[in-house]
Amino acid sequence: MASGFSSSGNSIHTKRALLIGNNKYKEDSELQHCTNDAEDLANKLQQSVLFNHININTRWKQHGITITGGHGRGNQLYQLYYPCGIYVDDDHQTIYIADCYNHRIVEWKYGEETGQVVAGGNGSDQLNGPTDVIVDKKNDSLVICDWKNRRVVQWSRQNGTDGKTIISDIDCRSLTMDSNGNLYVSDYERNEVRRWKQGEKEGTLVAGRNGKGNHSNQLHFPTYIFVDDEHSIYVSDEMNHRVMKWMKGAKEGIVVAGGKGYGNSLTQLCYPQGVVVDHSGTVYVADSTNDRIMRWCEGSCEGSIVVGGNGCGDEPNQFAVPTGLSFDVHGNLYVVECGNDRIQKFDIDLN
């Protein structure tokens, strides 16, 4: 395969440098409780609708459409600078992007040519290298991995002008939230993933924290994470070139993608990033320096290429270091490229 990995070793190290960035929660009333239960059910139903569109035979059109960025690296509202994480909010026909080196979160309405800064954007004193963002619908807020400030920030979507630190002293890289409102955050220095219930100070260890390494109870630079309906955690274990699944309460993880060393064969990954898992346990992962999106069916020893894998470049069927990964409710695929400073949308192929 013509990919970034098949070029010189220096190219791999250059891509790696780019990839790491250059180096008293309590319900007040029964009514509120019922409202939150309804929101949980709505979220679960929305995910069910999404995954009804996706199965192991689903295909996507191979030429992506640039929906955000792609106008060169910069800080204008039609530009991005090293984008990382993405969140697709189908309810509001909006995507949120962690625009890392512009130190901001950008909201982009479907079909719009420019975005709107909804958090940060005033230099590194507010946000400093945000790498991921999600929406906390219960609290109508954004939750942001504020990487270089070593904290997780909550930012109101209702004209919020400043963020509230909810987790500090953490080398966060990615975050996600389960249907109960519990927050999961990867820490690439401690090589662990923790779960926080709202209001907790320490969090609960759910993956890793046994030293840096490649054993089944270890991680080495965990990046993007995903939690399924059974509260199993999927972790892109970047430096081990694998995706690990840690079932709820497990002391060890299992390899569900990669784990055969770095490389560009169908059994390998090279610095995996964004990860999404459907209801059948099929893993979708951004294989960053192979410039492709891979699909690994549950129990499979090798993956298949979903989109990309056509070498490193800026053509509609190419990537340059894909990082964030997401789907909308219709099953369309969104890919963040930090190398091309753009977001590509790949429509689901219904033919």
* Beta bridge partners of residue 99, listed in sequence order: 83, 104
Give residue for tokens 């490649």. Answer: 214
Strand ranges in 169-221 using DSSP code E only, listed in sequence order: 172-177, 183-187, 192-196, 204-208
CB proximity list for 297: less than 8 A, separation 6 or greater? 56, 280, 281, 282
Length of the chain, in residues: 351
| Per-residue tens of pLDDT for the chain, all 351 residues | 333 322 233 344 445 555 654 443 333 333 344 445 545 544 544 454 456 678 999 999 999 999 999 999 999 999 999 999 999 999 999 999 999 999 999 999 998 989 999 999 887 669 999 999 999 999 999 999 999 999 999 999 987 778 999 999 999 999 999 999 999 999 999 999 999 998 888 899 999 989 999 999 999 999 999 999 999 999 999 999 999 999 999 999 999 999 999 999 999 999 999 999 998 999 999 999 999 999 999 999 999 999 999 999 999 999 999 999 999 999 999 999 999 999 999 999 988
Please report which helix (H) or strand (E) contains residue 50, including its range.
Answer: helix 30-52
Give the integer Cα–Cα distance in Å for 337 and 351: 27
Token digits of residue 27: 């319900």
- Closest listed residue to residue 333, CA positions, set 285, 280, 268, 282: 285
Give the integer Cα–Cα distance in Å for 131 and 173: 6
CB 333 within 8 A of CB 301: no
pTM summary value: 0.87
Give the integer Cα–Cα distance in Å for 147 and 197: 21
